[in-house]
Structure 1
Amino acid sequence: MGKRILVVDDAAFMRMMIKNIVTKNGYEVAGEAENGKQAVEMYVELKPDVVTMDITMPEMDGIEAVKAIRAVDPNANIIMCSAMGQQAMVMDAIQAGARDFVVKPFQQDRLLQAIERVLSRSRK
Structure 2
Amino acid sequence: MTMKRSVIVIDDDEDTVRLFGEFLEERGIKVVGSGYDGITAIKLYKEKTPDVVLIDIMMPNGSGFYAIKKIQEINSNAKIIAVSGDGSYSTEEKLEKLSIPLIRKPFNMEQIISVING
Name the structure 1 match of 2:27: 25
For residues 49-84 of structure 1, what are the alpha-carbon distances to aligned partners after superposition, in whole Å with 9 as ceiling and x for unaligned?
000000000011001110000001001000000115
User: How far is the alpha carbon of 1:96 from its aligned partner?
Assistant: 2.8
Calculate percent identity across the aligned residue pairs: 28
Q: How does 1:10-21 map to 2 (within 5 A)?
A: 10-21=12-23
Change (3 A) 1:97 1:33: farther
User: How far is the alpha carbon of 1:17 from its aligned partner?
Assistant: 1.4
Name the structure 1 match of 2:81: 79
Task: Tell me how many residue pairs correspond in the alignment.
Answer: 116
User: Secondary structure at the residue paired with 2:65?
Assistant: helix
Change (3 A) 1:84 1:60: closer
Name the amino acid aligned to 1:72. Answer: I
Name the structure 2 match of 1:54: 56
1:65 to 43, 47, 67: 67
Q: Is the 8 A contact 1:52 1:79 kept in 2?
A: yes
Q: Which protein is richer in helix relative to its size?
A: 1
User: Secondary structure at the residue paired with 2:24?
Assistant: helix
Query: Gapped runs of 5+ residues in structure 2?
Result: none
After TM superposition, the score normalised by the length of structure 2 is 0.91
Distance 1:111 1:34 in 2: 19
After TM superposition, the score normalised by the length of structure 1 is 0.87
Distance 1:97 1:64 in 2: 15
